[in-house]
Each structure stands twice: as structure tokens, then as C-alpha cells.
Amino acid sequence: MESTGFTNHNPENKGVAKTIILSFSLLLGLVVLGFFIFQGLKTFSDKDRVVTVNGLAEMDMKATSATITLYFAFSGDDFQNVFKRTENKKGAIVDYLTNIGYSKNDITISNVDVSDRQKYYETRMQNGEQVQVKIDRYTVGQSLTVKSKDVETIENKAAQIKLDLVTKDLTANITTTYSYPELNSIKPQLIAESTKNARIAGQQFAADSQAKLGKIKTASQGQISLSERYLYGEGGGKQRVQKARVVSEIVFFLE
């Protein structure tokens, strides 16, 4: 019995079809592989594109209090006599300070500083020759400090105290120091400001380079420096100001 249907069982036709499918799959794979290689190289290249900028931040801190320190000393070979003279002068200076308005709670008296050289002579140059010079064996030093919140007029008060003590034959070495807020209280704000200013500089550079500023790659904070200066108030008083300054170096990625 003869069949009337027709079926193509030619092996060559099947081989051609498999070759076409295999070639297409290989081509598609190469295209996909090339795309990922391109993306990888682009990402790698973008990671190498960075910009390094510096961010400056400055902040003024006004003094919160001031301290006047008075120091004097006596010397001699008789320790008891030297110590007594020191105590008498200390008492006279304390009386003077209380008379001009300071309470004893405002006055801090340090322990006496005693030096015992144990040698009565030392070698010095006089008229081009070395000679033995008699020196005092004992030196007794004493310091007193007075604290004040009135930082604008403290130096005028210190100058008046020095003049008054000279006229009373109570001469002392007088210095004025200031206290400021703790640096740690402003350090976070100072660093944040320097980082902000660095980003602004980086964004400007990126815009000029037709790029986009990315994330931070590395950052380093410079040492915080402090300097003092005067700020004159409306009433003529001088306010002592401490300027804190920091420069941060930040490396940004460029996209």
C-alpha cells in the first residue's frame, strides 16, 4: 500500500538549522559578554576618576572668664627671715585686693615655691674675667590668682592693680590669662563646616569638568589651630577671642 503524504527527513536540513541556532546563540552570548565587559571597564574607569579638595572652617570663641596672676619672690641666706617677708607681703596684697572689691573666695593662694641652691657663690663674667660672685642661698616665691567674669575690662583692672602695688611698695609680676569653651564642644560643628566647604569646592570642580560629584573616597582632618585676638565692643571694652581653624582634605569620586 502506497502512502500519499510527504515527510522531509533530509539530515542536511537539520544540520543547517542547528548551525543557525548555535551561531545565533554564540553571537548573542558575545554581545551580552561585551556589554558586561564594557560596564565593568567603565565602572573601573570611574573609580579612578577622583578630585582632591580642601575645606576650610573657622570659628570664634569668646573668653568666658579671665584670671589675674600676681607673683613675687624674696631671697636671702636666712630662710626664716625670707619666709616671713614673703608671708607679710602676701597678707598685704590680699588686704589690698579685698579693699578694692574682691572677696577672699575669688583669691587663690598657691603653695610657696622654695629654692635651696646650697651654694653661696657662682662663676660669672665681669670685665672679661671669670669671678666668684656671692648669691643668696634661699629663694621663696609666692603667687596669687584672682578670677573674674568681666573679661572686657580685666586688663584695665590688672594695669591698675600693678600701679597701685608699685605705689604701696608691693611690686609683683602680673599676668592675665583667659579661659575659653572646651574645644570638644565646637569640634563636631567645625569639622562639619570644613566638610561642607570641601564639597562645595568639589561640586564646582565637577561642574567645570562636566562630571558629577560622587561619594567620599577618603578624608583626613588637619590639626585644629588656635589663635587669640581682641574684639572691640560697642562700649569700648576689649573682648578676648580665640579663633579655631581647621582644614580638611577630602577625596571625592567623579561620576
The answer on pLDDT for 114 being more than 50 is yes
Are β-strands 138-148 and 113-116 bridged in parallel, bridged antiparallel, or unpaired? antiparallel
The answer to whether 102 and 73 have CB atoms below 8 angstroms apart is no
Average pLDDT, the chain: 82
Q: Phi and psi at residue 28, in whole multiples of 5°?
A: -65, -40
Highest mean pLDDT among 10-19, 36-45, 98-107: 98-107
CB count in 10 Å sphere of residue 39: 10
More confident residue, 89 or 106: 89
Residue 216's pLDDT band (cuts 50, 70, 90): confident
Give the per-residue pLDDT at 93.
96
For residue 253, what is its C-alpha cell? 569620586
The answer to whether 53 and 202 have CB atoms below 8 angstroms apart is yes
Give the per-residue pLDDT at 234.
54
Residue with cell string 574684639: 231
Rg (CA), the chain: 41
3-state secondary structure of 124: strand
For residue 47, what is its C-alpha cell? 573609580
The answer on pLDDT for 56 being more than 80 is yes
How far is Cα 57 from Cα 221, in angstroms, rounded to an integer? 11
Residue 11's pLDDT band (cuts 50, 70, 90): low
CB neighbour burial string for 175-211, b if at least 16 within 10 angstroms, e if fewer: ebebebeeeeebeeebbebbbebbbebbeebbeeeee
Residue 173's pLDDT band (cuts 50, 70, 90): very high
Give the per-residue pLDDT at 162.
95
Query: Which residues lie closer than 8 Å to 157 by C-beta, 6 or more apart?
Result: 68, 148, 150
Give the per-residue pLDDT at 224.
85
Highest mean pLDDT among 24-28, 73-77, 214-218: 73-77
How far is Cα 194 from Cα 221, in angstroms, rounded to an integer? 9
How far is Cα 171 from Cα 188, in angstroms, rounded to an integer? 45
CB count in 10 Å sphere of residue 142: 21
How far is Cα 161 from Cα 102, in angstroms, rounded to an integer? 12
Average pLDDT, integer, range 25-49: 56
More confident residue, 51 or 9: 51
Alpha helices in 146-248 (DSSP H): 154-167, 187-208
More confident residue, 25 or 183: 183
Please tell me the least confidently modeled range out of 28-42, 91-105, 195-209, 217-231.
28-42
Give the per-residue pLDDT at 155.
87
Give the per-residue pLDDT at 100.
93
How far is Cα 243 from Cα 58, in angstroms, rounded to an integer? 7
